[in-house]
Chain A
């Protein structure tokens, strides 16, 4: 299915209007468009995939609820509205004083789209694993020290006897190799 271009204000406005008029397929489009974005944001902010899945559901239901009632003042800023809603729910969750908006059960389409995304995520994990295995040992070490341990290029350079510039270049090259494989296979 062709995804909505969230950069296109006209498409966003159109989607908002269709949801307000009760078009169920428009709700499914919205879910497909934003669920991965909200999920990634929630995982990064909470580091808890289970919780992130709950936050995706909560955010989407809050957004759909608001759109059904025509509460979005600027329909061409749908992406910003979804982001703001997600941010508030995540922050509330982290503060443990979340006040959930009244939620309605997910439609079957919405629930199914989650299953597809989980399959995609599993495939991405498999491909990343494969791509990391193909990297040179030192490149993998640079990525590991950067992303897993949080070291900066200068620190990695000192540990591996390289210059920070070489570390940056190799890190970028290794990241691109992994991304290219994912892009080709998915």
Chain B
């Protein structure tokens, strides 16, 4: 392989996207082991790839893909809403006692109504660090599981029962058998966090984030923030919470709320 072939065949890009055959990959690696120009270009492109993957514009685009998918489902969603409203009206006619009054409830003389909502009481760092275990739904796939998956599922049985300490050895074994699986490192990090091992949680959750797995990135940032809060490292926690907000996922509101309550 030479530089011209690399450029014309878009080899560098295919290499970064893992689209080369084993033989092509070896040939390109042997080339840049002996070619300064291609090595420099590869270093730049790899850095560019990692930067682009972490930029917020990526989320905007992901959002647009999501909305395109929502529009595909929109007619079915609308039909479901119409059906549900119809059933509710029918049910209400049949059972008047179930009707909900649309009139405002009478104000109790003992309850004073405030013009502005009360400001929330200041939360301590201990309160902010408090954590609910991330949910886990076992998905059973057809076909034989590999050793790592089997070990993981066994460990997650303990996790599901709330026995996080017992889950840890199995999760570590699963991670050892398959070190590139974000799911394993994430639940290991969560288990460490839930057993008060903040440093170990930080290591495992940081590793999860490095994998860039969209299923676990947001959750990993969120629980990493909790781990930092547990260690009273507010700036690090703030940084993670801001990452959660940028991802615009299911934890965005919670992250914003915690950010508002962080001590300044």
Give the B-binding residues of A (Cβ under 8 A): 3, 6-7, 34, 36-37, 40-41, 43-44, 46-51, 79-80, 82-83, 87, 93-94, 96, 121, 124-125, 128-129, 132, 140-141, 143-150, 175, 178-179, 182-183
Contacts and interface: CB of A to CB of B under 8 A. Distances in A.
B5 interface: no
Interface of B: 13, 15-18, 26, 29-30, 32-36, 39-53, 55, 57-58, 61, 176-180, 207, 210-212
A98 to B, nearest CB: 11
B256 to A, nearest CB: 25
Given A44-B16, A144-B52, A147-B52, A80 B33 contact: yes
Instruction: In the A-B complex, list the 4 residue pairs whose CB atoms are closest, starting with the nearest.
Output: A147-B49, A148-B52, A148-B53, A6-B34
Contacts of A150: 17
Contacts of A40: 32, 39, 42-43, 46
5 contacts: A6-B34, A37-B33, A40-B39, A128-B44, A148-B53
Contact of A141 (B40, B57, B210, B212): B57
Contacts of A128: 44, 47-48, 51
A179 B41 contact: yes
B210 A49 contact: yes
A176 B43 CA distance: 13
Contact of B61 (A47, A144, A147, A183): A144
A47 B46 contact: no
Contact of A96 (B43, B52, B176, B212): B176
Contacts of A94: 179-180
Nearest to B213: A47
**Which residue of A124, A128, A129, A132 has the most chain B CB atoms within 10 A of its CB atom?**
A128
Contacts of A44: 15-16, 18, 46
**Which residue of B33, B42, B50, B178 has the most chain A CB atoms within 10 A of its CB atom?**
B33
Contacts of A149: 58, 61
Contact of B35 (A7, A47, A145, A175): A7
B85 to A, nearest CB: 37
B13 A147 contact: yes
B52 A132 contact: yes
A172 to B, nearest CB: 9
A40 B28 CA distance: 12
A141 B60 CA distance: 11
A51 B48 CA distance: 20
B211 A47 contact: yes
B34 A148 contact: no
Nearest to B7: A172
Given A37-B39, A40-B42, A128-B47, A143 B29 contact: no
A40 B45 CA distance: 11
A124 B47 contact: yes
B48 A48 contact: no
Contact of A6 (B26, B33, B46): B33
Nearest to A145: B61
